[in-house]
Structure formats: structure tokens, C-alpha cells
């Protein structure tokens, strides 16, 4: 048996060639219902390639203000099965299945209106969605910095420049750094040479410790930026990042192993579960299969409901506090700390 979240049937209506190795795919909802998402969230695509089922997360690059479509920007990657297949084979008019939008990397109304956004590579996509959404809101003061190899690798930079020139909305300043090209500026935007450093970040935004900071990019890039930011005095509660780095989930080594009762209330199944075994692993052992992609608390595809009991979820990045308060949990990265009842 299987339990799945509500799915969408998406039809590709447009393909935009952004760079030599990046395309943006525009999708409409087959049901014609408007999309419901927050700027910065992602969808999980479900597709089959040569008989093998895959699920992959892609951030929505378009603004929720235009809810008749979503744009997904996809970059060619080394050994990337799904991304490379989309770039090489997917056509206008083709259909895909997707899980409803999810993710916690988005702007809250309660956050600071002074923002520093930093991205690298395809990490530009959630930033584009946020900027497209708040560009008309004059409460915001935004410094946006993007890291790329060369100017030819920039995605949607003409649109970013247009947003920064307008005077009726958010105050937006854009800068770049290129690791493999020496350029001083692009259409008025300052360009730094080399890789990101503490000094470069200070030059980009001297008052960075007074801002909320949003970062998205490759894992090593984000590690470097976070380390630099905290080293410069940024309070950690002002730092937000989006990561699709997949890492193995490990049980707490300091916790004495125990066994608990685990009840799957929907399936009317009761088993014993070890405290060092994830709920997802236990479910699959008795034939309960959930949608999942990352197995590490990032994608949110396996989100389920905890009816009763206590769990330890060290890597539940896909859920925010309100989700947890609502009883949601991620079986892929959750370990029993008492007898459990789950809605599976």
C-alpha cells in the first residue's frame, strides 16, 4: 500500500534558453486551477526515465503573483540523470506529475525589510521568485549578490537590472563576482573578481549584520558564506539557507537504544520499532510506501502526521515551526523516543 500527497499534473507551455546549459520550463496546471505557493518554495517532480522512477526537487523561479503558471529553471549537471534528461528530451506540450509546492525558504511578513540575498549557480531561482514578488514593495531595501563563473553564466540578469532601475518599489542593489572572468561592472552593477571572501561580503554590504540574510547555492559555497557571515558577527537567527545537499541521516549516538510500539493508524498495523530506525524504514518493512526523494529531511515529499508520541527529527529542514505544531513530521529523518501513533 502507499500514501501520497496531493499531486499536480503539469503541462509544459514554454521553454526559455537561459544560457548554454540552463533552461527555464514554464508549466500550466492541467486542472486550470491557480498554483498556491510562497516565493522561494519548490515542487517535487515525479517522472520515469527508461523504466526507472525518479523524484527531484526544483525551486519555483516565478512569482506567486502570477499564479496561472510556474517556472522551473534547470541546469545541466555532471551525472545529473533527471536535470540532464529534462534539458535534452523534454518538449513543449509534454506532461509531468509533481507534488504540491513545499519548503520553508521564503520571506515571512515578520522578517526584517532590510535583506541581503546571496546566490550561486542555479541558486538564483528562489531569489528570482522573491524579488519578482517584492519588487513593487517600497518597504524593502535589498542587496543582492550572485556568484558565477563568467558573465555568460548569468540567469535572468536583464530582468534583475530592470527591477533595480525602477524607483516605485523596493530599493534593490545588485552585484556579482566572477571566478573565471575579469569584468568591472555589468549595466551599472559592480563586479568583483575571484571567489567569495569575508572582505568581498563586507564590500557588497557593509551593514550585513543588520539584515536578514538569504543564501542558496552549491553546498560548499553555502558553507563558505555561512562561515564568513557568522565570523563577521551576523546573528545566526538572521541567517537562512536553502540546501538540496543529500546526506545520510544518523541516529543520535548518545541515545541509549530502545524499542517502542509503532502504530500505523490508517493501515491498522502495529509493530516494534528500534530507536535507531527511521519511521520511513519501519513503514517500508511492513509494506507501507511513501513518496520520498531525498531521504534526508530536505524535500518534504514524505510529510506525514504524528497522532501521538515523541520523535527525534534532527534534520527536518522541510518543515517550519507551524508545520510541526500542526502535527506534521518527516518519517525519513524521524526516530521514535516513545511509543508512536502515526497516520499512515
pLDDT at site 244: 59
pLDDT at site 247: 57
In degrees, to the nearest 5, what angle opens at C-alpha 336 toward C-alphas 333 and 339?
150
Res. 249 pLDDT band, cuts 50 70 90: low
In degrees, to the nearest 5, what angle opens at C-alpha 91 toward C-alphas 88 and 96?
100
- CA distances to 109, 186, 212 from 112, in Å: 8, 28, 6
List domains and CATH numbers for the chain: 2-102 (2.40.30.10), 114-242 (3.40.50.80), 259-342 (3.10.20.30)
Angle between helices 157-165 and 124-134 (to 10 degrees): 30
Most confidently modeled range among 4-8, 110-114, 218-222, 235-239: 235-239
Q: With 60 as the cut, is the pLDDT of residue 3 above it?
A: no
3-state secondary structure of 262: strand
Segment 170-203, tens digit of pLDDT:
799 999 999 988 888 887 889 999 999 999 999 9
Q: With 70 as the cut, is the pLDDT of residue 167 above it?
A: no
Q: With 80 as the cut, is the pLDDT of residue 33 above it?
A: yes
Segment 104-154, tens digit of pLDDT:
899 998 899 999 999 998 899 999 999 999 988 989 999 999 999 999 899
Q: Tell me the mean pLDDT in the region 285-294.
A: 84
Q: Is 268 left (phi over 0), alpha (psi -120 to 50) or beta?
A: left
% of the chain surpassing 70 pLDDT: 94
Segment 212-221, tens digit of pLDDT:
999 999 889 9
Neighbours of 171 (CB within 10 A): 14
Q: With 70 as the cut, is the pLDDT of residue 253 above it?
A: no
Segment 46-61, tens digit of pLDDT:
999 999 988 888 999 9
pLDDT at site 122: 87
DSSP 264: E
Q: Are 232 and 205 in contact (CB under 8 A)?
A: no
Who contacts 250 (Cβ-Cβ below 8 Å, separation ≥6)? none
Cα–Cα distance measured from residue 245 to residue 259, given in angstroms and rounded to the nearest whole number = 31
Dihedral sign (CA 314, 320, 324, 330)? negative
- Which of 82, 73, 200, 187 has the alpha carbon at shortest distance from 128? 73
Q: Tell me the mean pLDDT in the region 84-112.
A: 93
Q: With 90 as the cut, is the pLDDT of residue 97 above it?
A: yes
Q: With 70 as the cut, is the pLDDT of residue 4 above it?
A: no
Amino acid at each position: 500500500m502507499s500514501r501520497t500527497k496531493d499531486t499536480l499534473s503539469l503541462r509544459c507551455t514554454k521553454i526559455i534558453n537561459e544560457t548554454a546549459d540552463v533552461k527555464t520550463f514554464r508549466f500550466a496546471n492541467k486542472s486550470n486551477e491557480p498554483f498556491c505557493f510562497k516565493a522561494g518554495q519548490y515542487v517535487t517532480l515525479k517522472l520515469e526515465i527508461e523504466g526507472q522512477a525518479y523524484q527531484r526537487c526544483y525551486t519555483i523561479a516565478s512569482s506567486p503573483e502570477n499564479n496561472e503558471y510556474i517556472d522551473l529553471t534547470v541546469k545541466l549537471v555532471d551525472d545529473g540523470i533527471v536535470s540532464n534528461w529534462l534539458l535534452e528530451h523534454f518538449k513543449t506540450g509534454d506532461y509531468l506529475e509533481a507534488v504540491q509546492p513545499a519548503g520553508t525558504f521564503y520571506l515571512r511578513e515578520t522578517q526584517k525589510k532590510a535583506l541581503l540575498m546571496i546566490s550561486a549557480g542555479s541558486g538564483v531561482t528562489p531569489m528570482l521568485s522573491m524579488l519578482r514578488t517584492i519588487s513593487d514593495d517600497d518597504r524593502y531595501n535589498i542587496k543582492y549578490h550572485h556568484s558565477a563563473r563568467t558573465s555568460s553564466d548569468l540567469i535572468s540578469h536583464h530582468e534583475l537590472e530592470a527591477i533595480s532601475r525602477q524607483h516605485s518599489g523596493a530599493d534593490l542593489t545588485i552585484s556579482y563576482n566572477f571566478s573565471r572572468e575579469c569584468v568591472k561592472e555589468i549595466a551599472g552593477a559592480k563586479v568583483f573578481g575571484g571567489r567569495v571572501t569575508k572582505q568581498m561580503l563586507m564590500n557588497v554590504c557593509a551593514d550585513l549584520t543588520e539584515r536578514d540574510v538569504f543564501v542558496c547555492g552549491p553546498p560548499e559555497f553555502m558553507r563558505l558564506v555561512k562561515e564568513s557571515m557568522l565570523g563577521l558577527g551576523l546573528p545566526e537567527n538572521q541567517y537562512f539557507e536553502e540546501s538540496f545537499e543529500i546526506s545520510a541521516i544518523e541516529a543520535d549516538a548518545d541515545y541509549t537504544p530502545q524499542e517502542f510500539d509503532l502504530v500505523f493508524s490508517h493501515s491498522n498495523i502495529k509493530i516494534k520499532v528500534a530507536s535507531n530506525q527511521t519511521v520511513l524504514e519501519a513503514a517500508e518493512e511492513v509494506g507501507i510506501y511513501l513518496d520520498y526523494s531525498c531521504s534526508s529531511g530536505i524535500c518534504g515529499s514524505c510529510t506525514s502526521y504524528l497522532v501521538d508520541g515523541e520523535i527525534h527529527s534532527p534534520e527536518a529542514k522541510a518543515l517550519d515551526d507551524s508545520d510541526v505544531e500542526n502535527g506534521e513530521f518527516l518519517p525519513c529523518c524521524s526516530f521514535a523516543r516513545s511509543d508512536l501513533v502515526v497516520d499512515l
